[in-house]
Amino acid sequence: MFLRHLLTRFGILLLALMLMVSSGPVIAQDSPEMADEIRVSVVAGAMQDTMMQLVEKYQDANPGVTVTLELEPEGGAFQALIAAGNQPDLIITSFGPMLGTLSEMGATVQLDNMPGADELFSRIEPLSLEKLYGHYYYVPIGADVTLMIYNKALFEEAGLDPEAPPVTWDEFLAAAEAIDALPTRSNGDEVYGTVFWNEALQWGGWYWNMLQPIYLNANQGECQLLNNLATNIIFDRPECNLEGFFEFTRAAQLHAPATMEKNFFGRNIGMWLQYGYSWQPNLLSAAGDPMVIGEDVGVAPVPVPNEGDTSFTTFGGRSMMILKTSPEREARAWDFLQFLMEEENNFKFITELGYLPVLTALKDDPYFQTPDRLPFVQLLEHGYVPEQFAAAERAASALQGVYQGVVVEGSVPLDDAVGEAASAARDAIQSQ
């Protein structure tokens, strides 16, 4: 009886093995089915043109699949589309609080466990990545960073060495004062030592990304605006040195016009601390003839409080997120995202649209080793991703309101600046 039972069990096992061999390897889990159509949100203009070419390449490699491009909604706000159930599958949008806002809403796909996610993230510059609420919700596709640009001709005219840009805050202020003292131009334009984009203070917290390198340098990368949970501000702590940030920017504003009406590209501004890699096309439309980096224009890190300090910057650029739709559409969107992050395709995207590489393999490409690009690439290693939480947008906007009074108008005393900024930012966070 026992022998017959054993033979029966053996026969069943043998039959199972025969079926496994005859039918090929056993697959633990099928690959997810992918939809035949997805919608991708892009920005109008050059991005639309470049993406159209990449879409055609993807569709050629995936017969029967349709990728439709549509323009990003006004102001980059996707909430109305999501509420109506009319959201695109994949969005290419700016770094910043919108990423955190959509993640907080639960409207975006967690990318950590998508097929091939570990391999993809291992190829990306780690400093450009940030987990939001404990997960990866975005993939950067191209970066931008902020540094200082300066007019070599004005340096020479002011008796400064155009090959030795200021490194410290004191050196910057001395150079700004010397350039600011130059005579009015023949067309009536005044000359200024520096410039800030002060009208942008009213346009929302995104502008903080351009001011933040000065703040990061003030505290040597110890602080951003919020704690790790984005539940409260920390910039009023002594180690964050917001007071030093206000003191420096207020002193620099004394040598600057009130707004960007007189901008650097008019050739009557000595230095600009908020010049990004993607601003390079503006050099072509400079007053008179195009400006050329390395010839009549120099680029350098944003000055630091003391010699020997590290100069930091903040990441700008573009990121991709997958909005929740259906498993099939999300799988197709992820496949298309991975396609865009293949080196050849990513290189096309960033070089045609004026971004820096986030794929580490592309940083050493000869294209990015030229004198007009290398300073930006080198600064990537000291970059900070802007805080991408909805609370950060509110805190930055509140801080900028106080900045307006302290730095631009002089209506708020320096001694009160940190306290007023902290009070305004906490109220802004708690009011939501």
- The pLDDT tens digits for 102-143 are 988 899 999 998 999 999 999 999 999 998 888 999 999 999
Q: Specify the pLDDT at position 425.
A: 97
Q: Specify the pLDDT at position 97.
A: 80
Q: Specify the pLDDT at position 133.
A: 86
Angstrom CA distances, 182 to 189, 193, 249, 261, stand at 11, 9, 21, 19
- Domain residues for the domain of 274 are 145-314+387-430
**For residue 42, what pLDDT band results from cuts at 50, 70 and 90?**
very high
Q: Which amino acid is at 168?
A: T
| Entry pTM | 0.86
Q: Which phi and psi angles does 315 have, rounded to 5°?
A: -75, 130
**For residue 101, what pLDDT band results from cuts at 50, 70 and 90?**
confident
Q: Specify the pLDDT at position 432.
A: 63
Co-location of 333 and 392 in the same domain:
no
pLDDT at 25 over 80: no
Q: Which amino acid is at 194?
A: T
Q: What is the mean pLDDT of residues 222-251?
A: 96
User: Under DSSP, is residue 38 helix (H, G, I), strand (E, B) or coil?
Assistant: strand
Determine contact, residues 101/392, Cβ cutoff 8 Å.
Answer: no
**For residue 31, what pLDDT band results from cuts at 50, 70 and 90?**
low
| HSE-up of residue 313 (Cα within 13 Å, Cβ side) | 27
pLDDT at 300 over 50: yes
Determine contact, residues 246/169, Cβ cutoff 8 Å.
Answer: no
* CATH code for the domain of 105: 3.40.190.10
**For residue 424, what pLDDT band results from cuts at 50, 70 and 90?**
very high
**Structural domain includes residue 295:** yes
**Structural domain includes residue 49:** yes
Co-location of 305 and 176 in the same domain:
yes
**Structural domain includes residue 393:** yes
pLDDT higher for 431 or 366? 366
**Structural domain includes residue 1:** no
Nearest to 95 by CA among 393, 346, 362, 397: 393
For residues 44-55, one letter each, b for 16 or more C-beta atoms within 10 angstroms of the residue's C-beta and e for the rest, the string is eeebeebbeebb
Q: Specify the pLDDT at position 204.
A: 86
pLDDT at 76 over 60: yes
pLDDT higher for 314 or 76? 314
Q: What is the mean pLDDT of residues 12-18?
A: 35
pLDDT at 227 over 90: yes
Asked which of 214-218, 234-238, 383-387, 422-426 is least confident by mean pLDDT, the reply is 383-387
Determine contact, residues 407/246, Cβ cutoff 8 Å.
Answer: yes
Q: Of 348, 363, 384, which one is at a domain's C-terminal end?
A: 384
* DSSP code at position 200: G
**Structural domain includes residue 271:** yes
Co-location of 246 and 139 in the same domain:
no
Per-residue model confidence as pLDDT tens digits over 230-240: 899 999 999 99
pLDDT higher for 30 or 122? 122
Asked which of 174-183, 382-391, 398-407 is least confident by mean pLDDT, the reply is 382-391
Q: What is the mean pLDDT of residues 18-44?
A: 64
Q: What is the mean pLDDT of residues 83-109?
A: 91
Co-location of 350 and 408 in the same domain:
no
**For residue 431, what pLDDT band results from cuts at 50, 70 and 90?**
confident
Co-location of 303 and 416 in the same domain:
yes
Co-location of 400 and 305 in the same domain:
yes
Six token digits for residue 301: 């890190």
Co-location of 268 and 238 in the same domain:
yes
Angstrom CA distances, 120 to 115, 166, 209, 334, 356, stand at 10, 39, 26, 11, 18
Distance of alpha carbon 328 from alpha carbon 332, whole angstroms: 6
For residue 305, count other CB atoms closer than 10 A to its CB.
18
Distance of alpha carbon 108 from alpha carbon 90, whole angstroms: 10
Q: Of 366, 384, 402, which one is at a domain's C-terminal end?
A: 384
Number of independent structural domains in the chain: 2
Co-location of 161 and 234 in the same domain:
yes
**Structural domain includes residue 113:** yes
Q: Which phi and psi angles does 231 have, rounded to 5°?
A: -100, -15
Q: Specify the pLDDT at position 413.
A: 97
Co-location of 364 and 279 in the same domain:
no
**For residue 268, what pLDDT band results from cuts at 50, 70 and 90?**
very high
Q: Specify the pLDDT at position 23.
A: 36
pLDDT at 418 over 90: yes
Q: Of 368, 384, 400, which one is at a domain's C-terminal end?
A: 384
pLDDT at 1 over 80: no
Q: Specify the pLDDT at position 243.
A: 98
Asked which of 131-135, 148-152, 322-326 is least confident by mean pLDDT, the reply is 131-135
pLDDT higher for 310 or 73? 310
| HSE-up of residue 205 (Cα within 13 Å, Cβ side) | 22
Q: Specify the pLDDT at position 132.
A: 87
Determine contact, residues 166/270, Cβ cutoff 8 Å.
Answer: no
Co-location of 298 and 321 in the same domain:
no
Nearest to 217 by CA among 380, 416, 384: 384
Co-location of 248 and 197 in the same domain:
yes
Co-location of 151 and 165 in the same domain:
yes
Q: Specify the pLDDT at position 205.
A: 86
**Structural domain includes residue 114:** yes
Q: What is the mean pLDDT of residues 307-330?
A: 96
pLDDT higher for 126 or 204? 126
Per the prediction, the chain carries an average pLDDT of 91
**Structural domain includes residue 3:** no
